[in-house]
Amino acid sequence: MKTAPVFKKDSHRWWILFDQDEHRVIDSNVYLMESNGSTIVLDPGGFEIFPQVFAAVIDAVSPSSIEAAFVSHQDPDIASSLPLWNACNAKIRWHEPKLWDGFIRHYGALDAHFMDIPDEGGEVLIGGKKLLFIPAHYLHASANFHVYDPEAKVYFSGDVGAALLPPGHSAFVDRRDPKAFDAHIAHAQYFHQRWMPSNEAKRNWCQRVSQLDIDYFCPQHGAIYEGEHVQRFLNWFDGLKVGTAIAD
């Protein structure tokens, strides 16, 4: 996996770990937020890619700085590496949806420090920086959260914004190319139509998130939307019909 910076201001930094060379499993991004020597890992990935993820982490931060992890929902590409991370550092606090607590524990590491996030969301301090847990239920999991950093204006969007791209893609959707967004979103359309089940939940989320000040919109699959591409994505998603596996 490759490591690329997303945001940097003094000791406050965001990183993306992305792009497997071989797509043996679905390509997944992992994010790090570091502040004042403390780090949180966001959607730390599956068991299969743990060695590549851990090697990429070392390129960005000291593994000993990781004090917390965030799990947006229960899928294996999100958190099946949990027992491996716990074996490396049993002090990590795992922030995960309360509804999925008993399911996530099936991955193992029952002695891990689980911190349930209630349905209405919450917040956490990492190195003095406040991160908000934003409800995104049914997008696509029944209990699902995103993470917003109001100071960095970074929004970790989990599966929302995901695109299934070919190997070797960039970490960002190119802002300099006027055709880049349209080319990119073609890789996102089927994913959103098939994996997102609720048009009502989608519209509710779009209304809420459109009120936030976001410079970097960071999905768990594919590339980061930045600048004007953030609102372009929100407008596109708001108008997209989802839940297409159910016939009209």
140-165 per-position pLDDT tens digit: 999 999 999 999 999 999 999 999 99
pLDDT tens digit string along 108-147? 988 999 999 999 999 999 999 999 999 999 999 999 999 9
Residue 220 has pLDDT above 70, yes or no: yes
CA-CA distance, 117 to 101, in Å (whole number)?
A: 9
Any domain includes 245 = no
Any domain includes 162 = yes
Predicted local confidence at residue 19, as pLDDT:
80
Q: Count of domains in the chain? A: 1
Using a cut of 0.85, tell me whether the model's pTM lies above it. yes
AA identity, residue 89: N
Any domain includes 132 = yes
In sequence order, which residues have a C-beta less than 8 Å from that of residue 105 and are 6 or more positions away?
114
Q: Which domain does 31 fall in, by range?
A: 2-238
Predicted local confidence at residue 25, as pLDDT:
80
DSSP of 177-199: -TTHHHHHHTTTHHHHHHH---H
User: 176 in helix, strand or coil?
Assistant: coil
CA-CA distance, 28 to 150, in Å (whole number)?
A: 24
The residue assigned the tokens 């919109």 is 217
Predicted local confidence at residue 239, as pLDDT:
97
Say which CATH number the domain at 202 has.
Answer: 3.60.15.10
Predicted local confidence at residue 23, as pLDDT:
65
